[in-house]
Every structure is written in structure tokens, then in C-alpha cells.
Amino acid sequence: MAPRPNWKGYLKLSLVSCAVALYPATTTSERVSFRTLNRATGNRVRRQYVDEQTGEPVEADQQAKGYEVAKHEYIMIDDDELKAVQLESNHTIDIERFVPRSEIDELYLDTPYYMAPTDRVGEEAFAVIRDAMRAQKMVGLARVVLYRRERLLMLEPRGKGLVAVSLRYGSEVHAGDAYFDEIPDTDLPKEMTELAKHIIAKMTGRFEPDKYEDRYENALIELIRSKQKGEPIKPQPTHRQANVINLMDALRRSVDAEQKADADRSAARKPVGRATRTAKAKSRARKAG
């Protein structure tokens, strides 16, 4: 069963529109989560807001949002006043521009959603927008209000639907110069680069996300299981960074290690020899007789 949508409204391209919904494309629900407990009693503890000046508890119905305009001076905003802030993007994702996907830096990508039509009437309009974008090899830029914030979206065809990825605004992304300027220019020996390229070539493969697991998550699960069984907790082995005395030697040792691993894999895949197959066949015949 598909998850509940995060947002429902309309997708609009010029005068063409259709009813759509946004669904979460990722989840963190399978992650191990912890509760805060009272160490003395083992009971869960509950967070409570207190007045900063009086120290008195403030119940939920007495809490309000405030914007600090000066030290200890706030403008109080009620929920009804926030709801009154209406933009077209509250209910409509209006595509404003199309750009090549390659022009959007990965740093700007934030949260992915699946977009799908929500009624039969709008399916044709949705398909027209999707297929035209795919044919032109373009992604669309639009806006939507999610969680009381207007977010920029990148719309990209995927299968029968669209993927809508919220984008960070320019003010939210740091320029890399401040972090990279002090890295010195290095004139590397050609052999070093060639050795590193050889290692990369040997380690090149396809991205298969199912082959990667959250090892820290798995270790947490094992810890919890050990505690349940009353077993002693085994310390996990840690990897210590070895000091590299000679970079060239380290690269050469890495190449040698990769070549040895290739040889071991080839030996494991080596077909069984004729004599071995004959001996196995005779053994099976004796057992059958």
C-alpha cells in the first residue's frame, strides 16, 4: 500500500493542469530509535516547556510562536495568522522554467518525493507534461509550500511518474572556495597518478545500493539483542589509520594487493580438471552400484 501523501494539489504548465500528490520517496522508519528514560526508575521521561523567567510549566494550549526582534523582545504569531499567509504554491505547483539537469549542482538537492496524478481526469495532462519533458531532456523548476515553507522543486520524469526533489536556496549552500583555497597546488609524479588510476580501474563497478548496509545500525541491533539475552557486550574492532611513510610504496602495495585478490578470484572460478571430473564420476558410479 502506498504511503499517505505529504501534499495534494495541482501541477500546472501554462494553461494545462492536473491534480497530483507528492509522496515521500525515502524513509527512516526502519532506523533504530531510542527513548529517554529515568535511569533510576526505567520509566520514560516527558519533555516539558517552562517559562524562562518564572520557571513555571507552560501547557500546550498556552504556547505560541514568537519572532525575536530585539533581546528578550518578541512579536507573537498565532497559528491562525500563519494559516492566513496564502501563496499560490500552497495548492499549485506551477512550473516556471525548464533547464538541463546537468546545470543543477548536486549540492542543491535536498529531499526527493514521488509525484503522481490523483484522478483519472488529469492522467492525460500529467502524461503530456511528463513525456514532453522527457523528449526535451529537461527538468522543470517550480515551487511548493511544504511544512509551512515555500520550497523550490526540481521535477524530473521517472518511469510513469515524476520525481520532485526539493532544492536548497542559494543562501543555504556554502561556496567551496573558503574550504579549498588553502589546499596547495601539487605537482605529482606521473607514476603516482598512473598507479592510482590503475587502482580505480580495478575497483570500478556499478552502483548497487542493495549491497550496502548501515553497519552502525546493524551493530546497534546486535547490541540490543545481546542486552536482551543478558550476554556480555563485545567491544567492536576499530580501524586505526596507519601512518603512510612513503606514498609511492603505499600505492604499489595497493596495486599488488588488488592483483593478488584478482588471482585468488580467478583460482576460485577455475573449472574442474578432466581427471578430477573422471574421479568424481567413478565415485558416483560406485555409490550407485
In this prediction, residue 51 carries a pLDDT of 92
Check whether 43 has a pLDDT greater than 70. yes
Which comes out higher in pLDDT, residue 222 or 266?
Answer: 222
Phi and psi at 109, nearest 5°, equal: -70, 135
Copy the grid coordinates of residue 66: 514568537
Q: What is the mean pLDDT of the chain?
A: 86
**How many CB atoms are located within 10 Å of the residue 10 CB?**
16
Calpha distance 162→133 (Å, rounded):
10
Which has more confidence, 247 or 132? 132
For range 60-67, the mean pLDDT: 90
pLDDT tens readout for residues 199-227: 888 888 888 888 888 888 888 888 888 88
Question: How high is the pLDDT of residue 277?
Answer: 56
Query: Binning pLDDT at 50, 70 and 90, where does residue 3 land?
Result: confident
Higher pLDDT residue, 57 or 274? 57
Is the pLDDT confidence value at 124 over 80?
yes
In the CATH scheme, what is the code of domain 7-26+85-172? 2.40.290.10
**pLDDT grade for 284, boundaries at 50, 70 and 90:** low
Q: How confident is the model at residue 151 (pLDDT cuts 50, 70, 90)?
A: very high
Kindly tell me if the per-residue pLDDT of 272 is higher than 80.
Answer: no
Mean pLDDT of 144-165: 94
The percent of residues in the chain predicted with pLDDT above 70, rounded, is 89
Q: Comparing C-alpha atoms, which of 207, 98, 96, 116 is closest to residue 159?
A: 116
Q: Reduce the secondary structure of the chain to three states and give it as a string.
A: CCCCCCEEEEEEECCEEEEEEEEECCCCCCCCCCCCECCCCCCECCCCCECCCCCCECCHHHCCEEEEEECCEEEEECHHHHHCCCCHHHCEEECCEEECHHHCCHHHEEEEEEEEECCCCCHHHHHHHHHHHHHHCCEEEEEEEECCEEEEEEEEEECCEEEEEEECCHHHCCCCHHHHCCCCCCCCCHHHHHHHHHHHHHHCCCCCHHHCCCHHHHHHHHHHHHHHHCCCCCCCCCCCCCCCCCHHHHHHHHHHHHHHHHHHHHHHHCCCCHHHHHHHHHHHHHHHC
**What are 202's strand-pairing partners?**
none
Give the pLDDT confidence score for residue 136 in this predicted structure.
95
**Alpha carbon distance 206, 153 (integer Å):** 28
pLDDT greater than 80 at residue 49: yes
Percent of the chain whose predicted confidence (pLDDT) is above 90: 45
**How much is the pLDDT for 166?**
96
In the prediction, which pLDDT does 265 show? 75
What's the pLDDT at 38? 92
Q: What is the pLDDT of residues 90-123, one digit of tens each?
A: 899 999 999 999 999 999 999 999 999 999 999 9
Taking residues 130-155, what's their average pLDDT?
94
Convert 242-272 to b/e letters by CB count within 10 Å (16 or more is b): eeeeeeeeebeebbeeeeeeeeeeeeeeeee
User: What's the CA gap between 193 and 199, in Å, rounded?
Assistant: 10
Q: For residue 37, what pLDDT is reported? A: 93
Q: Where are the domains of the chain?
A: 7-26+85-172, 188-202+242-283
- Evaluate if residue 179 carries a pLDDT over 70: yes
53-76 average pLDDT score: 90
- pLDDT of 266 higher than 80: no
pLDDT digits (tens, 9 = 90+) for 223-233: 888 888 888 87
